[in-house]
Amino acid sequence: MYELGSQLRRSADSVITNIVEGYGRSVYKKEYERFLVFTHSSCDETINHLEKIILLYPEINSEFKILRDEYDLLGGKINNYLKWVKLNWNKGKEEN
């Protein structure tokens, strides 16, 4: 449980960290897109860790099912935002 908890914390932290780092490079559209892909991947990894906890620890799984559902929703939002960035980021401005 300790190791899985550690992996879960790191992947969940990586979601926001990649958004922040990518936004810091947002002047370069492709760099920003790349970090949003990393963000989505970290979200998927977090969902995977939550799924393992749900399967391995049924006595506490109700709390983790809620988190899994929230991260699933977040993953969809990240994906939609990535699509928006690809189509609209800095539209009308000169790209680097």
53-65 confidence digits (pLDDT tens): 999 999 988 999 9
Distances (CA, A) of 59 to 29, 54, 63: 45, 9, 10
* pTM of this structure: 0.88
Domains parsed from the chain with CATH numbers: 2-88 (1.20.1440)
Where do we find the tokens 């190791």?
3
CA-to-CA distance for 51 and 65, rounded, in angstroms? 8
* Cα angle for residues 36, 62, 7 (degrees, 5° grid): 45
For every one of its 96 residues, what pLDDT tens digit does the chain have, with 9 covering 90 and above? 678 999 999 999 999 999 999 999 989 999 999 999 999 999 999 999 999 999 999 998 899 999 999 999 999 999 999 999 999 987 766 554
